[in-house]
Amino acid sequence: MGNVELEYSSLMACNKHDIEEEYVFEFKGKRYECIGENREFDIEQFRFAIKDKQWTTVSNRIINQLKWGPNIRMIKT
């Protein structure tokens, strides 16, 4: 996840004032916001996978959505 995350974090990172907390999830100490057209579905999927401890699934979805999105963005903390 490192290279993709570094490459896209500077492009899609946002400030605290434009975050919609209802679409935010946290994984490995980093916060992400679902921003795509299907963000209601996306946040449900991320929250379910995290609750169900599907760590590989969550990691793969983050990588793919940062790379092929923009469906999520990393939030600066």
Residues spanned by the domain of 55: 2-75
DSSP string, the chain: -HHHHHHHHHHH-B-GGG--GGGEEEETTEEEEE-STTHHHHHHHHHHHHHTT-HHHHHHHHHHHHHH-SSEEEEP-
Please list the pLDDT of the chain residue by residue as tens digits (77 residues): 454 444 444 444 455 558 889 999 999 999 999 998 899 999 999 999 999 999 999 999 999 999 987 789 999 76
Please tell me the pTM assigned to this model.
Answer: 0.74
**pLDDT confidence of residue 58:** 97
**pLDDT confidence of residue 11:** 44
**pLDDT confidence of residue 17:** 54
How many domains would you assign to the chain?
1
Q: What is the CA radius of gyration of the chain?
A: 11
Residue 38 corresponds to which tokens in the numbers above? Answer: 């299907």
**pLDDT tens, residue by residue, 12-23:** 445 555 888 999
